[in-house]
């Protein structure tokens, strides 16, 4: 019996030891089968390879060799890192322009909401709409500054308070002109008049702030304006009735709306110039706060002077007003942050992207197929925007030389 147990114990090995032996045998086969062949050297037979020097531990299997396993991963990670660095540099170089372009999406959404509100049975008067929207914006701005601990919530930072007040007055005048022009002008006509703003802003910034306004930016602006004309097809150039304006306004009402739109263009340019003059001496929310507070004050006085009868909105009217307030607040914050980071002439060129957003939103929401002229105008605007984005000159810093002893 003892002999039987002794023979069994000699033949049986624990599982772990058995696995170790099995692994050792497999690796031994691998060592005897695979050898390192220098790159470019002629292949040899197994017998000749066995006479070579024993392989190093990393050369046990070609699948574990750095040339096969680590190098592709290193190249892939290097390409991803280079792409991330290039994207980061592109965003940093065009942060202001991209923020302004993003704000135009929300401005376009707000414009569609305003047009929807005006199409209701009893539309809300312009001054009342401004009062509701700006009161909501002011409340959100104050809450934002208190929540994040931004100082000088009510009066703003010292040194720029007068500029903040002027920015608020200019912004109120601009929004009033835009809202009033939409009551007696078609959306296409008001859109074309609105896009005099980038050229006027760039020219004013070059004169008063000494900011660059290059020839390529002027040409890109003119091309974009031509694209706007192709998309809007205003009545005074293309003629014919517009489907979105069935009622025919009187010539006096139309002239008054055109005048209001031009006043709004001038005021918007002044507001953008003031934002650039303020710069980063004030937080972007400070600019939005003063803009909304001045608008609430002036619209309240205007409703009293002109004896505007308040209109209680319907349920759908409140939905439209809520959308107007939300879109307007987000758009103002993005616009202010963008203009604080970008020159006025180049930054306001992104205003033309709102026309592209308008075409896309009409196609998505109303399933309106754009005509060929609109597609051509969209391509022109996007090409101009891409050209301006990709051709920005980086600031060149001169090397500092130490004075000779």
What's the predicted TM-score (pTM) here?
Answer: 0.70
The Cα–Cα gap between 149 and 164 comes to: 20
Sort 272 into a burial class: Cβ within 10 Å, 0-12 / 13-18 / 19+: buried
In the 8-state DSSP scheme, what is residue 11? Answer: H
Structure tokens that stand for 277 in this block: 């003059």
**Assigned domain for 242 exists:** no
**Assigned domain for 206 exists:** yes
**Assigned domain for 101 exists:** no
The Cα–Cα gap between 349 and 192 comes to: 14
The Cα–Cα gap between 97 and 337 comes to: 10
User: What is the reported pLDDT for 1?
Assistant: 46
User: What is the reported pLDDT for 42?
Assistant: 46
Q: How many domains does the chain have?
A: 1
**Assigned domain for 18 exists:** no
Q: Are 134 and 299 in contact (CB under 8 A)?
A: yes
The Cα–Cα gap between 348 and 79 comes to: 35
Chain centroid to Cα 277, Å, comes to 22
**Assigned domain for 302 exists:** yes
| Contacts (Cβ under 8 Å, ≥6 apart) of 196 | 262, 265
Per-residue pLDDT of the chain (405 residues; tens, 9 = 90+): 445 445 444 444 444 444 444 444 434 444 444 344 444 444 444 444 444 455 444 444 444 444 445 555 567 777 888 888 888 888 888 889 999 999 999 998 988 888 788 787 777 888 898 899 999 999 999 999 999 999 998 889 999 999 999 999 998 888 888 778 877 777 667 777 888 889 899 989 999 999 988 888 899 989 998 988 888 777 667 765 544 444 556 777 778 888 888 899 999 999 999 999 999 899 999 999 999 998 899 889 989 998 988 888 888 889 999 999 999 999 999 999 999 998 888 888 898 888 888 888 888 887 878 888 888 988 998 898 888 877 765 544 333 333 344
The Cα–Cα gap between 359 and 353 comes to: 10
**Assigned domain for 362 exists:** no
Structure tokens that stand for 95 in this block: 């942060």
User: What is the reported pLDDT for 115?
Assistant: 79
Q: What domain range includes position 257? A: 108-212+251-342
Structure tokens that stand for 404 in this block: 């000779």
User: What is the reported pLDDT for 161?
Assistant: 93
Sort 297 into a burial class: Cβ within 10 Å, 0-12 / 13-18 / 19+: middle
Cα atoms in the 13 Å half-sphere on the side-chain side of 386? 6
**Assigned domain for 194 exists:** yes
**Assigned domain for 338 exists:** yes
User: What is the reported pLDDT for 403?
Assistant: 36
């Amino acid at each position: 019996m003892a002999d039987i147990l002794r023979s069994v114990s000699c033949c049986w090995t624990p599982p772990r030891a058995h696995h170790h032996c099995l692994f050792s045998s497999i690796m031994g086969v691998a060592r005897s089968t695979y050898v390192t062949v220098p790159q470019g050297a002629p292949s040899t037979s197994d017998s000749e390879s066995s006479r070579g020097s024993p392989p190093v531990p990393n050369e046990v299997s070609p699948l574990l060799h750095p040339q096969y396993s680590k190098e592709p991963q290193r190249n892939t990670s290097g390409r991803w890192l280079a792409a991330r660095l290039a994207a980061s540099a592109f965003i940093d170089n065009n942060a202001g322009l991209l923020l302004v372009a993003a704000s135009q999406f929300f401005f376009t959404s707000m414009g569609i909401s305003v047009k929807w509100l005006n199409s209701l049975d009893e539309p809300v008067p312009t001054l009342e709409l401004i009062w509701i929207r700006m009161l909501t914006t002011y409340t959100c701005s104050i809450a934002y500054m208190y929540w994040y601990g931004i100082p000088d919530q009510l009066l703003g930072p010292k040194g720029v308070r007068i500029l903040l007040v002027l920015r608020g007055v200019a912004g109120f005048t601009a929004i009033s002109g835009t809202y009033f022009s939409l009551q007696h002008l078609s959306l296409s006509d008001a859109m074309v008049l609105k896009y005099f703003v980038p050229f006027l802003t760039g020219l004013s910034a070059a004169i008063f702030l000494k900011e660059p306004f290059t020839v390529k930016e002027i040409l890109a602006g003119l091309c974009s304006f031509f694209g706007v004309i192709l998309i809007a097809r205003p009545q005074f150039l293309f003629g014919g009735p517009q489907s979105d304006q069935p009622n025919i306004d009187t010539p006096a009402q139309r002239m008054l709306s055109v005048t209001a739109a031009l006043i709004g263009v001038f005021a918007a340019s002044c507001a953008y110039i003031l934002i650039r003059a303020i710069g980063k001496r004030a937080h972007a929310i400070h600019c939005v706060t003063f803009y909304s507070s001045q608008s609430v004050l002036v619209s309240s006085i205007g409703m009293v002077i002109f004896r505007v009868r308040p209109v209680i909105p319907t349920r759908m009217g409140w939905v439209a007003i809520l959308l107007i307030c939300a879109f307007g607040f987000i758009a103002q914050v993005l616009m202010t942050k963008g203009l604080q980071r970008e020159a006025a002439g180049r930054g306001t060129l992104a205003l033309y992207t709102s026309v592209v957003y308008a075409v896309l939103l009409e196609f998505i929401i109303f399933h309106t197929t754009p005509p060929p002229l609109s597609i051509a105008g969209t391509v022109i605007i996007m090409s101009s925007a891409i050209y301006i984005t990709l051709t920005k000159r980086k600031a060149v810093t001169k090397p500092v030389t130490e004075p000779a002893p």
